[in-house]
Chains A and B, each alone.
Chain A
Amino acid sequence: MARYAMVIDTKLCIGCADCVVACKTENKVPEGLNRDWVVEATQGTYPKLETEFRSERCNHCSNATCVTMCPTGASHHWNGTNIVLVDPNKCTGCKACISACPYDARLIMHPEGYIDKCTFCHHRVEKGMDPACVSACPTKCMHFGLLDDPNSEVSQLLRTRKHKVLAPETGNDPNVYYLI
């Protein structure tokens, strides 16, 4: 499985939400729906507080429970990669994948009713471009690339920087990494 990963530097992220706007523009996400979002996590006790900004989205898990639970094969791994997509022509809107996602990263497309989510902008990735959120980031805190290539930017960052993923205990093998 070719593994694409997103690596986000929480030390550089300022929580401006440009990634959210870029996604909405690029993918024409209807009003009121979000494929990505920004979390502000504050830890500690005043005055010793630490804040971390995290741009979050579908983790394009290698072991994606949304894919295993889908009864029709609508949720699938794209072209043998870890990129998880939904085929609207196979989706019944049963919402099993929404319940199956530990990250609550999926949404019901309005008004059509099929299930939608972050696609890692596979239509851009196909052309060798970065996802829209990554290319729009003003602090250049987001990186995208192949984990299998040891020389890719993401591989190098993960080799040299301390990092984490969200809720690894779910066993889903998420592929969005946060540099900490």
Chain B
Amino acid sequence: MLEEILITARSNPHIDPVLEVWNWQISVYLFLGGLTAGIMFFSALMQVLNKDEEAPFAANGLALLGPIALSLGMTTLFLDLSHKLFVWRFYTTFQPTSPMSYGAWILVLFYPVSVLQILSTLRKGYPVAVPYIGRVPLLPELLDWLEVRRRAIAWMALPIAVGLGIYTGILLSAFSARPFWNTGLLGPLFLVSGLSTGAALTALIARNHGERSLFTRIDIGLIVAEMLIVALLLVNLSTGARPQLEAAAKLLGGSYSAMFWGAFVAVGLLVPLLLESFELRGLMRRVAVIAPVLVLVGGYMLRVIAVDLGQETTWINYESEFNPQLLERLR
């Protein structure tokens, strides 16, 4: 047997005994970033397809929620920075090898396109605002101009939505030092999960029955896709090398099993999938609010598990404090 112990102190905060430099701030950001991607994707998609009749909320009102969710997420992201005064350094450079640098610039691209998207649908989506719009000089003319170009704006929004949804997964997957993250499946998984939470939020808020069932159907498809990617991820981990096997073990019977199978797979995927299928058959309509809420909870749990478990997986395993149980292994 082999035991490796630190005989001098190394208790660097957040690194020892287990890496936990990223906490809830990052999980919340990853969740809200994915949700924002879903919001922008479906609002733009419905605009491109001219689905004002079938999906009046998604086509016109939904886009406004995007910058609200993303700004909340960016706030928690800012809270995570430990050298906050230098946050502007993200924007004095572009680092082609760093997915986080791409992400920083995607966030900057998001806002202007989102504002155009909102303005081009403001009068349709929020009729209460119409009397106020008239009072602002030139605003009605601007809105006229943008409303005509609604589809062109939506076409710009689609790639930004996909970029925002997928980059967070690619970001984590690019860490070769953390075996749990180091799989190409994380990008698609985060994208599909983000779209799923976006569809769920739309189904939750939409008042129109036809629109609700449209987004319930979309969400069912996305949940099934997400389950497939999760299954592939488990196959990928449990057929990997030692560090991946150790990560898989944490999900299959180890310390993250209850959270993964209970809070994510059961509560966040299976139960909403069943409830949404019932709903489409006209069953349990009264509790239709539960399924989308669970999808949102599941989306957040996925980010919590990814962030926390990913940091625990490593190539180096030594004990940073005296552990008498290790001595037993040498006897």
Whether chain B is bound by chain A comes out as yes
Give the B-binding residues of A (Cβ under 8 A).
Answer: 15, 17, 20, 32-34, 37-46, 49, 53, 65, 68-74, 88-96, 98-104, 106-108, 110, 112-115, 166-167, 169-171
A-B contact pairs, 20 of them (CB 8 A): A32-B12, A37-B9, A42-B3, A69-B98, A70-B98, A71-B100, A72-B92, A73-B93, A90-B89, A99-B22, A99-B178, A100-B176, A100-B177, A102-B314, A103-B316, A104-B16, A108-B21, A114-B83, A114-B86, A171-B176
Point out the residue from B12, B89, B99, B177 that lies within 8 Å of A34, measured CB to CB: B12
Contacts of B83 in A (CB 8 A): 88, 91-93, 112-115
Is B224's beta carbon under 8 Å from chain A?
Answer: no
Q: B6 near A99 (CB under 8 angstroms)?
A: no
Instruction: Indicate if the CB atoms of B95 and A71 lie closer than 8 Å.
Output: yes
Chain B neighbourhood of A72, CB < 8 A: 86, 89-90, 92-93, 95, 101
A74 and B89 contacting across the interface, CB-CB below 8 Å:
yes
The closest CB in chain A to the CB of B174 belongs to A69
Interface residues on B, range: 35 or more
B19 at interface by CB-CB < 8 Å = yes
Query: Which positions 137-190 of chain B face chain A at CB distance < 8 Å?
Result: 174-178
Distance from B7 Cβ to chain A, minimum over Cβ atoms (Å): 5
Q: Say whether, besides A39-B4, A71-B95, A98 and B314 are in contact (CB < 8 Å).
A: no
Does B11 touch A at the CB level, under 8 Å? yes
Q: What is the chain B residue whose CB lies nearest that of A89? A: B86
CB distance from B174 to the nearest CB of A (A): 7
**Closest residue to B318 on the A side, CB-wise?**
A39
Which residue of the partner chain, among B7, B95, B103, contacts A15 with CB atoms under 8 Å? B7
Taking A72-B95, A99-B22 as contacts, is the C-beta distance between A39 and B82 under 8 angstroms? no
Cα distance, A71 to B97, chains bound together (Å) = 8
Q: Contacts A101-B177, A104-B15 given; indicate if A113 touches B8 (C-beta within 8 A).
A: no
Interchain CB contact under 8 A, A40 and B7: yes
Please name the residue on chain A nearest to B102 by beta carbon.
A71
Please tell me if B258 contacts chain A, counting CB pairs below 8 Å: no
Q: Does B10 contact A (CB under 8 A)?
A: yes
8 cross-chain pairs, A with B, having the tightest CB-CB distances, nearest first: A93-B82, A93-B83, A71-B100, A113-B82, A102-B177, A37-B10, A107-B12, A71-B101
